[in-house]
Structure formats: C-alpha cells, structure tokens
Amino acid sequence: MLGFFSFTEVTDPSAHEAYNAWHQLDHLPEQFTVEGITFGQRWVRSPRCRDAEAVSGGPLDAFHYMTLYLMRDDGSLPEFFALAQRLRAADRFFSERRALLSGPYAVVGRWAAPRVAVSAAAVPYRPSNGVYTVVGPAVDGATLVDCPGVAGVWQFADSEQGRVVTVAFVDGDLWRASEVLASATAGLGAGREWAGPLERVDAFRWDWFATLTPQ
C-alpha cells in the first residue's frame, strides 16, 4: 500500500476559499474514479495549528494544507498522474497553489489504540477531529497510540530521500493531544522537519484565513 502526500501552499492569500471549493467539490471527488485509490482527505494548517506546532521553518514553512491519498499499490500511479494531466488540459486545475512536498510513500507501519474497536488498517477511515503529523525520522507508533485522544497511527517512508511521515489520527481533543504528542516526539530533536496538528476540513467551512486576507 502507498500513501501519496501533498503539502500545499496557496500562493494568493485571497484564494483560500476558491482553492477549498475547487479541491473539495471538483478535484478530490475525481480521484476516487482512479482504480486502487481507497482514501483521500485533506487537512488544514490553520492559524491555531501554527500556534500549536512543535517544529516549523525550513522548506515546509509555507504550506497551508496536507492531502493524503491511499493507494492499494503503485499500479494506481500512472492513472493518477494521467488524470492530473487531463484535468489540467480541461482547465480544471488550480493555478494559485504550489506543492512544497509531494509524492508516493510506502506504508511502513500501522497501529490502533487499544481502546478503539477497529483494526489498525481501518483507522484512517474512522472519523477524527484532525491529525498530528511528524515529518522527519521514524516515530515509535506503538508508543503514540497510548497518548490520550489518539485513535491510531500510520507511518509512511520514502526510502530514496530517507524521509518518514508519521500521521496520528486524533478523535479526542486535538489541542490537548497535540501537547502530549509534541512531548512524546521531542526526543527526535533537530531531525524533525515539521511537526504539529492539522485540523479536519469540513465541507463549506473554509474561513480559517479570512481575517488574514488583505482588504
């Protein structure tokens, strides 16, 4: 199984609502027409998330959204990329965006909290309030699932770049869980490229950056 990540910056501060409408109502639904894609979701690095993150700066400092698609195997990638080309040709792509980190990652670990009924394989499909993500060295997912509010953890790796993305799915209070998770992963030290909470994106609720938009 693969996870395809995109850490995306919206380059026009006034375009967040348009970007969210495009992604949620046009782009994301089309991805599920690709054979082998089993999951797709996007989270926002809202101003409150920025205030709560443990590690920032570097190449990922400007991203606003993280998108994750799950694919059964790399056989889905050719059609995934072909769909992107068709949408661009049909003028159904959003131009005021930039992917700061994007690509396929192998699934290398899955854990479920002992308190939840579902298997580790089912955790991403379970409703959550957001995620806590660590980009950098590997994290002990078995330890993270013991943290309050964490339903489960999935871990993804790019062997060529030596980068690991750990995603903790939070069904409890995202902000309390983030404090505990920041402490639990602090031992990774300077090896972390980015670490912090990301809020769930709900349909038609896209106003996180409205007060930051120049009038």
Tally of structural domains, the chain: 1
**Is there a domain that residue 208 lies in?**
no
Q: Residue 197 is part of a domain; what is its CATH number?
A: 3.30.70.100
In this predicted model, what pLDDT tens digit does every residue of 152-204 receive, in sequence order?
A: 999 999 988 889 999 999 999 999 999 999 999 988 767 889 999 999 999 89
**What is the pLDDT averaged over residues 13-38?**
95
Name every residue whose Cβ is closer than 8 Å to that of residue 187 and which is 6 or more positions away in sequence.
Answer: none
**Is there a domain that residue 163 lies in?**
yes
- Enter the pTM of the model: 0.94
In this predicted model, what pLDDT tens digit does every residue of 23-35 receive, in sequence order?
A: 999 999 999 999 9
User: Over 70: is that where the pLDDT of 47 sits?
Assistant: yes
**What is the pLDDT averaged over residues 104-115?**
96
Name every residue whose Cβ is closer than 8 Å to that of residue 35 and which is 6 or more positions away in sequence.
Answer: 76, 79
What pLDDT shows up at residue 175?
97
What pLDDT shows up at residue 215?
40
Buried-exposed string 135-172: b where 16+ CB fall within 10 A, e elsewhere: bbbbbebeebbebebbbbbbbbbeeeeebbbbbbbbbb
The rounded distance, in Å, linking the Cα atoms of 204 and 144 is 32
What is the span of the domain harbouring residue 94? Answer: 2-202
